[in-house]
Chains A and B, each alone.
Chain A
């Protein structure tokens, strides 16, 4: 069975540009969450989507947005990129909304470098 797949795996952008990252959840999983992992830190929560609706948002500026499609795949968009947006962006899926034993399964991530 395919796990959580993310694309692209690596990308380089310049300050001020826009980026779109994509995620396909495990088949049967209806919830997708996005996390940002800056070098030397643990992953930080950005968004959670469940049944195509935003169900949670972390402490990130409005430059960050996301959506979930009818097939449960998801996109993360970041506008007006800053150097500090350089990070590994992780997508995770779960059957439900991630409570209790409904643990998150992570993809390998998209590594974004902003120059």
Chain B
């Protein structure tokens, strides 16, 4: 049962335009969300996060929006640059049965920014 879903496996955007990556989740108990970026042959790199008490968080060219009623979050990248081409994973923080935390990842969206 996929609790975090990224329904678009790939996205192509022209350099300078906005990239919008989407993510849906099913568990209303999730209270912290993260976006990671992954280049080939590297591990995922933390990009930006958002707590459920907020609906928006910005960091430079990256903004994450959270719509709790729709159980949906999105990552906006503007302006998009060729170096942003990577696989982007959405993740939700969830408690384990022993009370610690784990991340539940979506399947990723491959972003290609065209020069």
* A interface residues (Cβ-Cβ under 8 A, vs B): 4, 33, 35, 40-45, 48, 50, 55-58, 90, 92, 97-101, 103-109
Contacts and interface: CB of A to CB of B under 8 A. Distances in A.
Contacts of B63: none
A90 B103 contact: no
A56 B102 contact: yes
Interface string B86-103: 000101010011111111
B60 interface: no
Contacts of B106: 42
Interface size class of B (residues with CB under 8 A): 20 to 34
A46 to B, nearest CB: 9
Interface stretch (B12-20, B43-51, B69-77): B43-51
A43 B91 CA distance: 9
Given A42-B89, A43-B89, A108-B41, A100 B51 contact: yes
